Amino acid sequence: MVHIKYVEADGRTHEVDAPEGWSLMEAAFHNGVEGIEAECGGACCCATCHVYVDERYLDKLKPVEANEDEMLDCAAAERKATSRLSCQVEISAELDGMVVNIPETQI
């Protein structure tokens, strides 16, 4: 299991142990983390699963692909250097200990 800490916009935190292969979105959904809407169910076509990932882990993530890049431009909250769509980030052992911040709004 991989330990991920989610921080909701109001500061509430969720310490989650998730299996490798799940996405950050799936792990949040199955552990009651609020603020990730994921309206399209992970098909990379809604941008309501936008999160800010831990910058210490940026180089451990697969690069943003073209369709994720386009959708991030449509996200409701400000796009930052650490912005990712949580449905497109696969959990791996390398991400153990990562902190994921959830933006104030997804719609």
- Residues lying near ligand FES in the complex (CB under 6 A): 25, 38-40, 42-49, 71, 85, 87
CB of 24 to ligand FES, least distance (A): 10
Q: Give the type of residue at 29.
A: F
Q: Which residue has the tokens 């052992």?
A: 93
CB nearer to ligand FES: pick between 44 and 99: 44
CB of 50 to ligand FES, least distance (A): 8
CB of 88 to ligand FES, least distance (A): 7
Tokens of residue 23, six digits: 């996405």
Q: Are 100 and 53 in contact (CB under 8 A)?
A: yes
- In eight-state DSSP terms, residue 76 is S
